[in-house]
Structure 1
Amino acid sequence: MTTEKTLPRVMRFGDLAFQPREEKPEMAQLAEIVGEQDGTPLSAGYARLSNARIEWTVLYDEVVTVMEGSIKIHTPQGVLQAGPLDCIWLPAGTPLIYEAESALIHYCLHPSNWASARTAA
């Protein structure tokens, strides 16, 4: 992670470039708005989910806010369902399945360097 933070800025939703997620690119496209490259331990962005069923164990603390559509997140404690403007809290280490027919979500996670920390381990 850089030691100096980038300057404040506005990110216009219409200017964001959604990129296919490495795993399951047909189900999820991501647009990061802030992260490790900005010198911050916070990461945030948007994800579009289409006919998605993605199994994962979160390696970071995450908050998911549904902007459009709906999402189900299957956890060992049960199924968490959320619609527009609902939020879901997911602590690091939670095994889950993200499931959505069609949804636009906003996510915030910490730490932003979870992927590089994982490969360094």
Structure 2
Amino acid sequence: MHREPMVFRKDTTEFAAYGEGSGEASIARLVGPRESETMGAYLARFNGRSVPWTVRYDEVITCIEGEFRLRVGPTVHALRPGDVIWIPKDTELAYEGADSLVFIAIAPVDWRTRRHQEAGQM
């Protein structure tokens, strides 16, 4: 487990394509289970692509640049730079944006492992 502070520079962080369809979306995984036992952290960019997902963890998103939109059913939560939204576990949503850069924090970071363990106990 990593136990020293880590600095991530926006201009040197590598992003990978995220989601499918028209427009663009990419994500940079910053903190995962190798670095932390409790939380995960990401940077993500959205520009015209809608990425549907059901969160399996609690999530906090902070808009850094552009306009980020979180679609939950018919409701659209529009965030501008500096705005923050908390999303509870098991929310069905779509991530969207226009030239947006967001910071995402999740807990627990090991949600995939926990989900597999729960499925095995049933």
Counterpart CA distance in 2 for 1:68 and 1:39 is: 26
Q: TM-score, normalised by structure 2?
A: 0.82
Counterpart CA distance in 2 for 1:80 and 1:58 is: 16
Task: Give the CA deviation at 1:116.
Answer: 3.7
Task: Give the CA deviation at 1:10.
Answer: 1.8
Task: Give the CA deviation at 1:9.
Answer: 2.3
Task: Give the CA deviation at 1:77.
Answer: 7.3
Task: Give the CA deviation at 1:119.
Answer: 4.7
Instruction: Report the counterpart of residue 94 of structure 1 in structure 2.
Output: 91
* Residue of structure 2 aligned with 1:27, choices 14, 24, 27: 24
Q: Does the alignment pair 1:17 with 2:14? A: yes
State the aligned residue count: 117
Counterpart CA distance in 2 for 1:11 and 1:101 is: 23
The one-letter code sitting in structure 1 at the alignment partner of 2:59 is E
What RMSD, in angstroms, separates the aligned Cα atoms of the two structures?
2.1
Q: Structure 2 matches for 1:1-121, cutoff 5 A?
A: 4-21=1-18, 23-24=19-20, 27-76=24-73, 78-119=75-116, 121=119
Identity fraction in percent: 31
Q: TM-score, normalised by structure 1?
A: 0.83
Out of 26-35 and 100-109, give the one that drifted further.
Answer: 26-35
Counterpart CA distance in 1 for 2:37 and 2:106 is: 11
Counterpart CA distance in 2 for 1:97 and 1:47 is: 13
